[in-house]
Amino acid sequence: MQTISLFEPVLADLQKVEALLLEIVQVEQAPLAALLGHIVQNKGKRLRPAIVLLAAKFCRYPLDRLAPVAAAVELLHTASLVHDDVIDNAATRRGNPTLNALAGSRAPILIGDFIFAKSAQTAVMGHNLRVMDVFARTLMRICEGELHEVLSTRRWPQSTDEYHEKIACKTASLFSLSAECGAILSGANEDFIVALRDYGHNVGMAFQIVDDVLDLVGDEGQLGKPVGGDLRQGTITLPIIYHLDSAPADSMVRAIVAGDNHAEAEIQEAIRLIVQSPAIAMSYADARAFARAAKSALCILPDNQYRRALARLADYIVERIA
């Protein structure tokens, strides 16, 4: 299933959002403009702006307000990735060099801050105070989630509840923001807004769980980054939690989680142990449960091509391989 087919109902408007993103990063300072252009053109799947647009299709559809908010959501996501790459000292993302690989570790932090500011400035173009309030609260939640992850690095034990709270902040909140803002700008009633917000939350939870599974079972060429990055950095993800809970005597994985400077052969063996354990199937089961909850949240909406596109998107998020 390709994202372009999922986005077909809003594809033309999504291309307008893309053009707006390129316009937003045109700044006077040539070195900054080049780095911003590198980030925006190294684009992902644009899931979040597509959700903004699809969520607005059930009532009015004020594209002049929706497009900048969709762009602002993508900028917010992009800024968080820039900071993630600095924290993780990542050299590649989506198969291309990260900003810290191109410009060192200091400039990317400031560039991430600049993009955060740009995202807030762009969100104002939605001319809606409630959207701005949700946007600000989401930015705080993302920061909470990232701080939680940093402060819990290499700390064991951790519970599934802690993991769910962390990813609800750092990932699901942005999907929830996307759906909620689209609904608000469309003038939807409160029941529709809550339903779409719940859809976004559950889709985001499923997305992050699958991301964490793919970090262990994915193909490096398709992922665009090395496999096993979370394990190397001591980031405790759901598959790691499930594996260590079910195999408490596994000293290999526990040792790698607890400290760095392990040989690559040891890391690969630890990945093999996790992949061959029930942890992967258990994690996918959780992701599918969140996807089902996302589709269930859509039930009060009109049964049309936009609702079906959102439902297919929930399925795609679980089925994807990158």
Q: How far apart (Å, rounded) are the C-alpha atoms in residues 8 and 50?
A: 10
User: DSSP code of 172?
Assistant: I
> What is residue 238's predicted lDDT score, i.e. its pLDDT?
98
| The pLDDT of residue 295 is above 90 | yes
Which band of pLDDT confidence, cut at 50, 70 and 90, is reported for residue 254? very high
The backbone torsions φ and ψ at residue 194, rounded to the nearest 5 degrees and listed phi first, read -65, -40
* Residue given tokens 């820039």 in the structure block: 82
When divided into structural domains, the chain yields a total of 1
Burial code (b: 16+ CB inside 10 Å, e: under 16) for 200-233 equals bbbbbbbbbbbbbbbbbebeeeebbbebbebbbb
Burial code (b: 16+ CB inside 10 Å, e: under 16) for 150-177 equals eebeeeeebeeeebbebbbbbbbbbbbb
Tell me what the pLDDT averaged over the chain comes to. Answer: 93
Omega prior to 278 cis, within 30 of 0: no
Which band of pLDDT confidence, cut at 50, 70 and 90, is reported for residue 235? very high
> What is residue 183's predicted lDDT score, i.e. its pLDDT?
98
Host domain of residue 59 = 3-319
Give the tens place of pLDDT for each residue, 112-140: 999 999 999 999 999 999 999 999 999 99
| The pLDDT of residue 33 is above 70 | yes
Taking residues 278-292, report their average pLDDT.
Answer: 98
* Residue given tokens 């951790």 in the structure block: 158
- What is the crossing angle of helices 264-275 and 238-246, to 10°? 80
- CA–chain centroid gap for 14, Å, is 18
pTM: 0.95
- What is the crossing angle of helices 279-297 and 264-275, to 10°? 60
> What is residue 1's predicted lDDT score, i.e. its pLDDT?
56
Q: How far apart (Å, rounded) are the C-alpha atoms in residues 107 and 64?
A: 33
Q: Assess contact for 7 and 18: CB atoms under 8 A.
A: no
The domain that holds 274 is classified in CATH as: 1.10.600.10
Give the tens place of pLDDT for each residue, 143-186: 999 999 999 999 999 999 999 999 999 999 999 999 999 999 99
User: DSSP code of 92?
Assistant: E
Distances (CA, A) of 197 to 63, 65, 287, 295: 20, 19, 18, 12
Which band of pLDDT confidence, cut at 50, 70 and 90, is reported for residue 2? low
Q: How far apart (Å, rounded) are the C-alpha atoms in residues 240 and 246?
A: 10
